[in-house]
Chains A and B, each alone.
Chain A
Amino acid sequence: MTYETPVAAAPSSAVASAPRSDGGGVALGRRRGTVATVIMAVLALVWLFPLLWALVNSFREYDYTQANGYLSFGGWTFSNYEEAWTRANFGLHMKNSFLVTVPAVLLTLWLSSMVAFVLARFSYRFNLTLLGVFLAANLLPPQALLIPVFRMFREIPLPYFMSDSGSMLNSFWALILVNTAFQMGFCTFVLSNYMKTLPYEIYESAQLDGASVWRQYWQLTMPLVRPALAALATLEVTWIYNEFFWATVLIQQGDKLPVTSALNNLRGQFFTDTNLVAAGSIIVALPVLVVFFALQKQFVAGLTLGSTKG
């Protein structure tokens, strides 16, 4: 392709001159590109607007917005953040979320990597069935299991040093187990698909060298699936941290609620300071955003992981 404008010219002039100088195909591509960009920009704006709106209003005083309407401009303050942090006791609830999320993610990855390893590396008659069961469990809405799980957990006794209610209810154990159970299906599916892409020859040589099954799992497979584990860990941290439903059902003690449920602390019986709730929501969303931006590469990889090889 030959350009009349020098390649070294400023990008803006290159863009301006390109449709004129290039063949029809490129011009069409460019027009298409513009249309696609505009559509994407509009969609992104539609998605981002509520978030940005909340962000803007979280910096404004309730009295000001109530008196002048939300379309006004002014009443800027940082106090919503300070007040949200102290009022909702986010320090405690962040700790709770952490105590649930970290073990649940570790447990999920550990257990599902073991299942996935067996499913991917050994051919039993039940392999497909087992994978099907894991997938089916993934499709089941958690709400459908609310009552059975609640009753089951109520009946399972725990010693008092593990749970001060004497049962699974009102303990972090319940949340860790429930989250692990519900996330295992997806992780197993992704990991087993990923493990199937590993060349079989490695395992043959490993076997020839006398590596046990455990060693094949731990020292051979695990290092090779590290990218998959990293991607899944990112996804799972966000999902489990964002989990709201089970926490409100299984935890009835205010000081044990994770941070997502504790956001409700900012609402009064009748009166709700919406600007304060906006500030609280931003605080709660921050860890997820940090995880997302820090591990963006894994996050995107995780979405397509295992999709190319069945």
Chain B
Amino acid sequence: MDDNKNIILVEELVKDYSMGSSYFRALNDISFTAKKGEFTGLVGPSGSGKTTLLNILGALDNPTQGDAIVLGKSVKSLTHKDAARLRNNSIGFIFQTYNLLPVYSVFENVEFPLLLLKKGKEEREEAVMKALSWVGLTSKAKSRPNQLSGGESQRVAVARAMVKNPVIVLADEPTANLDAENSHNIIRTMLKLNEELKTTFIFATHDEKVISYLHRKIVLNDGKIVNDINLN
């Protein structure tokens, strides 16, 4: 993929939520582009529309008006099945609450996206161990999520998001439940992966620790982009 090509193109995006007879506008006329390998943050206070925008970029939600073109695909026109395929093939998610599958071991949690992609056993094992080594958790491969600390859980979530080598990783407040040390570790891990694998990271965050690592900061307030700063 051409590094200078826009992998995300957001055009005059509007997202309204129905509230009985009225509606709440979560995103208002958002437009921006993102290229491969960016380490970008959607920054702003609670309720500014960061998560909503991230959800639309991840094809988990549809815009009310405008469109988001992700990897050449219009989110607005994707069917449920196509959206699932896009997420499965090209997008990794990291959530604030880790969202690990409790019945699976660390290894199996990380392996899960590869199973959905119907990868072979050997390829899966190799990829999972590699992903766990990126986050320094090879020794915890057999542990269950309930045996991990918050920091470890989030590193497993990072490994799960990265194992399929996605084009884009969308991280929603990935450090919100972590202490300072773990927050720095997680962000440094993601930054390293961004540099080594050229994976595009887009964060929704208002954590100053995360913001200090960003290469680009898109500031949202009341559903509008109020600033778009290149920090490189």
Same complex: no
A interface residues with partner B (beta carbon < 8 Å): none
